[in-house]
Amino acid sequence: MLALIHQRIAWMDQVGIRQWNVTDYDGVYPPEYYQLCYQKGELFALEDTASGQIVCAGALKEQDDRWPDASQPAFYLHHLAADPAHKGAGRIFLRAAEAYAAGAGKVYFRLDSAIDNPKLTAYYEAQGYLPVGRCVDGAYEGILRQKPLSPHPAPST
Structural domain including 79 reads 2-148
State if pTM tops 0.85: yes
Q: Rounded to the nearest 5°, which phi and psi values hold at 43?
A: -90, 135
Domain annotation covers residue 20: yes
In a domain, 115, yes or no: yes
Residue type present at position 118: P
Q: What is the CA radius of gyration of the chain?
A: 15
Give the chain's domain count: 1
Cβ count near 140 (within 10 Å) = 17
Beta strands in 102-139 (DSSP E): 108-114, 130-137
Q: What is the pLDDT along the chain (157 residues), one digit of tens a residue?
A: 899 999 999 988 898 887 888 888 888 899 999 999 999 999 999 999 999 999 999 999 999 988 987 788 999 999 999 999 999 999 999 999 999 999 999 999 999 999 988 989 999 999 999 999 999 887 788 999 999 998 655 555 4
Cα–Cα distances (Å) from 79 to 6, 62, 154, in that order, read 11, 14, 25
Residue 13 domain-assigned (yes or no):
yes
